[in-house]
Amino acid sequence: MAPPQRSQNATSRRRSGPASHRQKEPQGLPTGVQWITVEPDMAGQRLDNFLMARLRGIPRSKIYRIVRKGEVRVNKGRVRPDTRLEAGDQVRIPPVVKPERPTSSIPGDRVQAVMEHAVVFENDDLLVVNKPSGIAVHGGSGLSFGLIEVLRAARPDARFLELVHRLDRDTSGLVMVAKKRSTLRFLQDELRRRDVHKHYHALVSGHWPASVTEVAEPLLRYEMANGERRVRVDVEGKPSLTRYRVLDTWPGYSLVEASPVTGRTHQIRVHCAFAGHPIAGDDKYMDAASQRVFRRQGGNRLMLHARALEFRLPGGEQWLRLGAPYDEAFEQVLAGLAR
């Protein structure tokens, strides 16, 4: 596994959009309806990500709500949050009231220092962070800030910082952050072509059979009565595939490498639970009795870690492989099982 690499080269951000829509990041949100023309360098971007970049500070749940209600339109038609935008599309964005944020919501120096210390690779195009468990990748849904907001606060001179992909809040490990829009588009295209290889380590309940090397079950997202989003195996869901390899076993638990071929929400967690081996510490897909046993053994986090990434760097054929060590809580659980 390659050692962490770092450099500190400056970058610049490409401005996009016609003059009538070209503007600096707003201090407040527009009070009227916006009509924005999708420029070529924005083509292929998901609608929800497009809106998140223009409605800073608005909870993601509210953005999804205005899309579902039809208040956001593309070429005057209703759309889904995962709609891919094309060059020339006309996007209608309704006026949205930004909630008041207390001053304590600004990431403090200590949090900024922790996140900067977690950077394992950086060049002119991107940086890769070993995200701690318990920190969301972005704010919203009751969270004042996440990884991307902390990085922007720590780097006030950065003209462009955007998430290439996401991790669940309680999952630790490698996350890519683009420093240029061209890099964002390149890496997201690579993800769609499945040319970015992700390898997770998961501590699962029970003895994972070495003969089970993959789980290929369709996954469907649904909403619970309290508004929480969950995922289940369902014939009407999207095709999903996760490959597995057993790394170690102890009484009652197995450490496996999980390599998702597709990139569905909660994919590894749901596939592990479907196989009869839920991930230890998973408060969504592990039964309550198993959770209590895990906590009595000292477990206090979801035992899922984005361990390694393999991908091509923009502008060439050079492949990069990066690895991220476990955090102390993850290590302590494994050490306890080994004893």
Residue 20 pLDDT exceeds 60: no
Residues 330 and 288 in one domain: yes
> How far is Cα 299 from Cα 205, in angstroms, rounded to an integer?
12
Residues 225 and 324 in one domain: yes
Specify the pLDDT at position 15.
Answer: 35
pLDDT tens column, 296-337: 988 999 999 999 999 999 887 789 999 999 999 999 999 999
> How far is Cα 130 from Cα 175, in angstroms, rounded to an integer?
7
Residues 133 and 301: beta-carbon distance below 8 Å: yes
Residues 238 and 198 in one domain: yes
Domain boundary among 93, 113, 138: 93
Q: 326 is in which domain, residue-wise?
A: 194-338
Residue 89's pLDDT band (boundaries 50, 70, 90)?
A: very high
Specify the pLDDT at position 142.
Answer: 58
Residues 152 and 234 in one domain: no
Residues 84 and 95: beta-carbon distance below 8 Å: no
What CATH number has the domain bearing residue 55?
Answer: 3.10.290.10
Burial 112-144 (b: 16+ CB within 10 A, else e): beebeebbbbbbebbbbbbbebebbbbbbbeee
Averaged pLDDT, 111-138: 93
Q: Which tops the pLDDT comparison, 97 or 27?
A: 97
Residues 313 and 201 in one domain: yes
- The first and second tokens of residue 275, run together, are 């196989």
> How far is Cα 141 from Cα 61, in angstroms, rounded to an integer?
6
**Counted domains in the chain:** 3
Residues 223 and 262: beta-carbon distance below 8 Å: no
Residue 40's pLDDT band (boundaries 50, 70, 90)?
A: confident
Q: Which residues are catalytic, by number?
A: 168
Residue 141's pLDDT band (boundaries 50, 70, 90)?
A: low
For residue 138, being part of any structural domain is answered with: yes
Averaged pLDDT, 201-207: 97
DSSP string, 44-60: T-BHHHHHHHHSTTS-H
Residues 210 and 292 in one domain: yes
Residue 69's pLDDT band (boundaries 50, 70, 90)?
A: very high
What CATH number has the domain bearing residue 283?
Answer: 3.30.2350.10
Q: How far is residue 94 from each of residues 4, 97, 100, 139, 336, measured CA to CA in Å? A: 44, 10, 19, 21, 53
Residues 85 and 116 in one domain: no
Residues 277 and 231 in one domain: yes
For residue 7, being part of any structural domain is answered with: no
Residues 198 and 276 in one domain: yes
> How far is Cα 193 from Cα 196, in angstroms, rounded to an integer?
8
For residue 4, being part of any structural domain is answered with: no
Residue 291 pLDDT exceeds 90: yes
Residue 271 pLDDT exceeds 70: yes
For residue 255, being part of any structural domain is answered with: yes
Residues 79 and 171 in one domain: no
Q: How far is residue 256 from each of residues 208, 248, 318, measured CA to CA in Å? A: 8, 7, 28
Residues 283 and 302 in one domain: yes
Domain boundary among 93, 118, 140: 93
Q: Which tops the pLDDT comparison, 162 or 145?
A: 162
Specify the pLDDT at position 29.
Answer: 58
Residue 140 pLDDT exceeds 90: no
Averaged pLDDT, 87-92: 93
- The first and second tokens of residue 139, run together, are 């704010």
Residues 199 and 316 in one domain: yes
Nearest residue to 111 (alpha-carbon basis) of 158, 143, 157: 143
Domain boundary among 128, 157, 189: 189
If you average pLDDT over every residue of the chain, what do you get?
86
For residue 178, being part of any structural domain is answered with: yes
Averaged pLDDT, 166-188: 94
Nearest residue to 227 (alpha-carbon basis) of 52, 68, 56, 58: 68
Q: Give the H/E segment covering residue 254.
A: strand 253-260
Specify the pLDDT at position 44.
Answer: 84
For residue 22, being part of any structural domain is answered with: no
The residue type at 22: R
Least confident of 21-30, 143-152, 268-277, 320-329: 21-30
Residue 31 pLDDT exceeds 80: no
Backbone φ and ψ for 199, nearest 5 degrees, come out as: -130, 120
For residue 8, being part of any structural domain is answered with: no
For residue 292, being part of any structural domain is answered with: yes
Q: Which tops the pLDDT comparison, 30 or 277?
A: 277
